[in-house]
């Protein structure tokens, strides 16, 4: 069982999270950021993920998150921030500080369960790749251009985790690429709309519907594609899917109208994760993102 550290100063919230997750995960609780940090610092290998409230007395969630992200021991530990502080600026601040997901209170319990499941799956992929890290980096360092095809969410996550190794900030780049590639699979090739995804998450049938569509005859041969090009100190990734596209302009920024939704932040999140540029083309089934490997000199 994965071990989770749950941090919240409200006993009711801790009890609610324990009721949702205790059956499938081992939980340790902390009532403030300082207690949480002491537990992490004393046993850095103990926890697979952290569920963190933002507003707490003493050391608040943002300070705790910054400490976690600045410590190399917790580079692969996803932090899910759950909070009532959900203005667009607060969401952007939390994501920029390194939150794996920013969940607005009040939220549906199913959403938390699925987010934790996805965060742990990402951690597992990163751990697998870390064991092969030297070989992967050596091969990628020799690669100037490549083309990859993928059709499932797992393939998208694995490819994002591998290609993220090209960059110094591989955590942020991996997360951003994964969001764009998952969008290409789920919304592009499989044709699941924003409203449909929300309903499926609410009914806890999201993963089952993705698997059903992947096996259906009309979607079975659909593939997405990622092209990678290295030019001097710049990396460029172009992702294409076979869908009809979508109104991508509505998702480039954090929208207050979607603050309480369990999804819909992926593209805005991707724009903040170490990308110098993110550009959609045409109807939205092609997106190019650019990463600069060296900081531009200041005038």
pLDDT in tens, the chain (299 residues): 899 999 998 898 899 999 989 888 999 999 999 999 999 999 999 999 999 998 888 888 999 999 998 998 998 899 998 887 767 777 778 877 888 888 877 777 888 888 898 888 888 877 876 766 666 777 777 888 999 999 999 899 889 888 888 877 777 788 889 889 999 999 999 999 988 988 888 787 888 999 999 999 999 999 999 999 998 889 999 999 999 998 888 888 766 666 556 567 777 777 776 688 899 998 999 999 998 886 544 43
Same domain? For 259 and 205 the reply is yes
66 lies in some domain: yes
- Tell whether 288 and 140 lie within a shared domain: yes
pTM score, whole prediction: 0.68
Q: Is residue 19 part of a domain?
A: yes
114 lies in the same domain as 139: no
On whether both 222 and 79 belong to a single domain, the answer is no
Task: State the residue range of the domain holding 7.
Answer: 3-120
Residues 158 and 272 in one domain: yes
Q: Number of folded domains in the chain?
A: 2
Strands 49-53 vs 101-104: parallel, antiparallel or unpaired: unpaired
Instruction: Look at residues 70, 73, 72, 93 and name the one whose alpha carbon lies nearest to residue 81.
Output: 93
Question: Are the CB atoms for 122 and 78 separated by under 8 Å?
Answer: yes
Q: Looking at residue 48, which CATH number applies to its domain?
A: 3.40.50.2300
User: Phi, psi (5° rounding) for residue 191?
Assistant: 65, 30
Task: Say whether both 270 and 221 belong to one domain.
Answer: yes
Query: Do both 100 and 174 map to the same domain?
Result: no
Query: What's 178's domain CATH number?
Result: 3.30.565.10
Give the domain-ending residue among 59, 93, 120: 120
What does each C-alpha distance from 285 to 110, 154, 182, 239 come to in angstroms?
A: 29, 20, 12, 8
């Amino acid at each position: 069982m994965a071990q989770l550290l749950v941090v919240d100063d409200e006993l009711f919230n801790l009890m609610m999270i324990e009721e949702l997750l205790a059956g499938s995960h081992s939980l340790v609780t902390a009532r403030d950021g300082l207690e949480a940090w002491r537990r992490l610092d004393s046993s850095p290998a103990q926890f697979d993920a952290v569920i963190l409230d933002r507003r707490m007395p003493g050391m608040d969630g943002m300070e705790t998150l910054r400490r976690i992200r600045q410590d190399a021991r917790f580079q692969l530990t996803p932090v899910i921030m759950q909070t009532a502080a959900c203005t667009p600026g607060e969401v952007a601040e939390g994501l920029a500080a390194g939150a794996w997901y920013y969940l607005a209170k009040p939220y549906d319990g199913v959403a938390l369960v699925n987010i934790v499941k996805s965060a742990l799956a990402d951690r597992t992929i990163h751990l697998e790749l870390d064991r092969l890290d030297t070989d992967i980096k050596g091969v990628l360092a020799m690669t100037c251009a490549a083309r990859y095809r993928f059709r499932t969410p797992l393939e998208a996550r694995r490819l994002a985790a591998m290609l993220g190794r090209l960059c110094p900030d591989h955590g942020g780049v991996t997360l951003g690429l994964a969001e764009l590639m998952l969008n290409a699979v789920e919304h592009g090739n499989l044709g699941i709309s924003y409203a449909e995804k929300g309903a499926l998450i609410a009914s806890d049938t999201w993963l089952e519907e993705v698997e059903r569509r992947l096996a259906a005859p009309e979607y079975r041969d659909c593939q997405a594609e990622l092209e990678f090009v290295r030019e001097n100190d710049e990396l460029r990734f172009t992702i294409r899917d076979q869908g009809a596209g979508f109104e991508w302009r509505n998702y480039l920024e954090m929208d207050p109208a979607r603050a309480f939704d369990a999804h819909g932040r992926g593209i805005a999140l991707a724009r903040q994760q170490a990308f110098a540029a993110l550009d959609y083309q045409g109807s939205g089934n092609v997106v190019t993102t650019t990463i600069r490997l060296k900081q531009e000199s200041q005038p």
